[in-house]
A and B are shown apart, each in its own frame.
Chain A
Amino acid sequence: MDDLIKLVRTYRVTAGLAERLRLAEAIFRQIEPDLRLFVFSAIQSPAAEDVLQEILKSVAASLINFRKDTLPAFRSWFYTIARNRLNDHFRKKARDPLQPMPNDEILDLLDASEQAEPMTAADRHDLEYALKLLDGSKPECRGYLWNHYVIGFDYGEIAEEQNLNYDNVRMKIGRCLEEAKSLVA
Chain B
Amino acid sequence: MPNQNTDAEAALQKLGHRVRLGWAKKQPISDKSLESVKNTVREQWEQEQTASRTSKPAPSPDKDQKPKPPEPGLEP
Contact = CB atoms under 8 A, between A and B. Distances in A.
Interface in A102-138: 106, 108-113, 115-117, 119, 122-123, 125-127, 129-131, 133-134
Main secondary structure of the interface of A (DSSP, over half): helix
Contacts of B40: 56-57, 60-61
B38 A25 contact: yes
Contact of A113 (B9, B13, B18): B18
Nearest to A123: B14
A140 B48 CA distance: 45
A115 B40 CA distance: 33
Contacts, number: 145
A115 to B, nearest CB: 5
Interface in B23-43: 23-30, 32-34, 36-38, 40-42
Indicate the size class of the contact surface on chain A: 35 or more
Nearest to A151: B16
Contacts of B45: 17, 20
Interface of B: 1-3, 6, 8-30, 32-34, 36-38, 40-42, 44-45
B44 A61 contact: yes
Nearest to B12: A149
A72 to B, nearest CB: 16
B26 A145 contact: no
Interface stretch (A33-41, A80-88, A160-168): A33-41
Interface in A135-157: 145, 149-152
Q: Which 10 A-B pairs have the closest CB atoms?
A: A109-B22, A130-B15, A112-B22, A113-B22, A149-B12, A113-B21, A60-B40, A130-B11, A33-B24, A150-B16
